[in-house]
Amino acid sequence: ALRDLSYIAANLRPEDRAEIDCQFDDWSPALLALTALQGFAYVAELEGNPEAGFGAAEQRGGLWIAWSWGTRRMRRCVPGITEFFHAVLGPDVAARGAWRVEARALAANELALRWLARLGATQRCRLPGY
């Protein structure tokens, strides 16, 4: 998984690079991949190639952060990731006692915001400094 996540992180689509730049002062593909492995981490493939990484990690008791990023071909992975989220990842996080799962997206990233809404997320606030 580390190799696949590192490959994806080295080939990010611009909108994911912008999101990550807001969350990490200094990062590299290897550091991003290692950070992703702190909790549940999965890779979506197309035609045998890793195209998207996604998962969730507990930040403190019951508070989780969900994340996803990918290559330019990630969009084709979204239906499968969505299905996996509802069938596996969401229930696994809930079973671990999550009382809140946060996912951040830039206000200009309308595609990400629409996807989060389809996953069942509710926008709670805007982070002007993000």
- Structure confidence at residue 82 as a pLDDT band (50, 70, 90): very high
Distances (CA, A) of 15 to 54, 69, 75, 92, 115: 15, 9, 12, 28, 14
Question: Which residue is associated with the tokens 């071909």?
Answer: 73
pTM: 0.93
User: What is the distance between the alpha carbons of residues 48 and 119, in angstroms, rounded to a whole number?
Assistant: 26
Q: Structural domains in the chain?
A: 2-118 (3.40.630.30)
pLDDT in tens, 11-21: 999 999 999 99
Q: How far apart are the first and last CA of the chain?
A: 29
